[in-house]
Amino acid sequence: MKYKIAVIPGDGIGPEVIREGVKVLRAVEETQPNLGFDFVEFPYGAEHYLKTGELISEEGLDELSKMDAIYLGALGDPRVKTGILEQGILLKLRFYFDQFINLRPVKLYPEVPCPLRGKGPEDIDFYVVRENTEDFYVALGGRAKGRTREQLEVLRSLYSAKFGLDIEVDKDEVAYQIGVISRKGAERVIRYAFELAKRKGKDLVSSVDKANVLSHSYGLWREVFEEVAKDYPDIRTEFLFVDAITMWFVKSPEWYQVVVTPNMFGDIITDLGAMIQGGLGMAPGGNINPEGVSMFEPIHGSAPKYAGKNRANPIAAILAGQMMLEHLGEGEAAMRIERAVVKVLTEWKVRTPDIGGKSTTSEVGDAVANAVREIEAPE
């Protein structure tokens, strides 16, 4: 199969880690006669925005919709006000392509330093399925400063009627942001989590919320979870509050198999998840729409401090490439990348400083690409 892959290197360390990811995918291509990639590069990111004022154009979105998948580096740049690139490009793509699943495996590979005492690869191997298009990410909100008196009066009646807040029009400043959970939105991602558990031979799905406080939106989430769970009688379930799960990820990560969570909590707990799998340099993610264009990226940001230094760990980006292949149905090729990463890690010859080595970004990419070529075809 020949795949058209959009490459968006983006900002900061994005280009250098994605370069290694592409290098590894090229090596995979050599080993699989029936597999090929057409990489099409897109310029979106800080540089393009500063030069042209454009975040992502309609034509760009149109071009991207013709691709089989998107391979993304990172977005964010100190020269641009925080949020502009993240919302205007990253979140834009997630929403535009309705990538409602953000799949983030939390897997500790052998010989990767783990900050948890006494825990090893056999203890840390689970999936976080993060809802990716709702919750506090819907951008519904506002601020009551700088409005006309009439607008403020409207807001005031809204606040007092809906939120029980009595604001004084002339004095008070109020900001609000609304989180939205829809039945349909919760249903589809929760069902995906159960299906994933089935596919991966896992028998526990844990749901994360804060239904004790934010009972409107997460109350609905719970209700839907209970309904969907009925269709999977062989899979055990549990509810956890988000604060508690951060504690349990540290204390007993071995308990978890598949964790399904609303968007915002998923964002937070997957940074914690990344730390227990050896750091952000080890954590890939997939923004998935099973029927549309999906996008794969390392979950780390653009780390401007390290940009251009050839010292960032490219393994998260390389593993995002592996997830992309698995998503495209190229299981054997995907497995080859994972094995190559494990080989390089266990040999302890080539690794970046974040996981205890002295190698550069490109040396790690070269080593994984070579390992991809050397590995015997899986049985």
Quick one: 217 or 302, whose CB is closer to ligand IPM? 302
Shortest CA distance to 317 belongs to which of 282, 344, 270, 291? 282
Q: How far is the CB of 232 from ligand IPM (least distance, A)?
A: 28
**Residues belonging to the active site:** 137, 210, 243, 267, 271
144-150: long-range contacts (C-beta < 8 A, 24 or more apart)? 144/172, 144/173, 144/174, 144/175, 145/173
Q: Decide if residue 209 touches Mn ion (CB under 5 A).
A: no
- Of 88 and 142, which CB lies nearer to ligand IPM in the complex structure? 88
Kindly state the greatest CA–CA separation across the chain.
73
The answer to whether 90 contacts ligand IPM (rule: CB under 6 A) is yes
Which one of ligand IPM, Mn ion, none is in contact with 86 (Cβ closer than 5 to 8 A by kind)? ligand IPM
Q: Which one of 84-92, 112-120, 144-152, 344-352 is the stretch in contact with ligand IPM (CB under 6 A)? A: 84-92
Residue nearest to ligand IPM (CB): 86
- Least Å distance, CB 90 to ligand IPM, is 5
379 vs 376: CA distance, rounded Å: 9
State which residue, 95 or 176, has the beta carbon closest to ligand IPM: 95
Q: Report the residue from 40, 84, 91, 375 that binds ligand IPM according to the rule CB under 6 A.
A: 91
Q: List, in order, residues 6 or more apart from 166 with CB less than 8 Å away.
A: 156, 159, 160
Query: Taking the complex as a whole, how short is the minimal distance between the CB of residue 268 and ligand IPM, in angstroms?
Result: 9
Q: What is the DSSP letter of 163?
A: I
Considering only the stretches 13-21, 85-93, 112-120, 356-364, report the one whose residues sit in contact with ligand IPM under the rule CB under 6 A.
Answer: 85-93
Could you tell me whether strands 101-107 and 125-131 are parallel, antiparallel, or unpaired per DSSP bridges?
antiparallel
**Tokens representing 325?**
């292949």
In sign, the C-alpha dihedral spanning 56, 59, 65, 66 is negative
Picked from Mn ion, ligand IPM, none, the partner binding residue 64 (CB below 5 to 8 A depending on kind) is none
Q: Is 267 in the site for Mn ion (CB under 5 A)?
A: yes
In the bound state with ligand IPM, the residue whose beta carbon lies nearer, of 132 and 207, is 132
**Residue for token digits 């264009």?**
293
Q: Quick one: CA dihedral 243, 244, 248, 250, positive or negative?
A: positive
**189 touching ligand IPM, by CB under 6 A:** no
Distance CA 42, CA 73 (A): 11
Nearer to ligand IPM, 40 or 268 (CB): 268
Q: Which residues of this chain interact with ligand IPM, rule CB under 6 A?
A: 86, 90-91, 267, 299
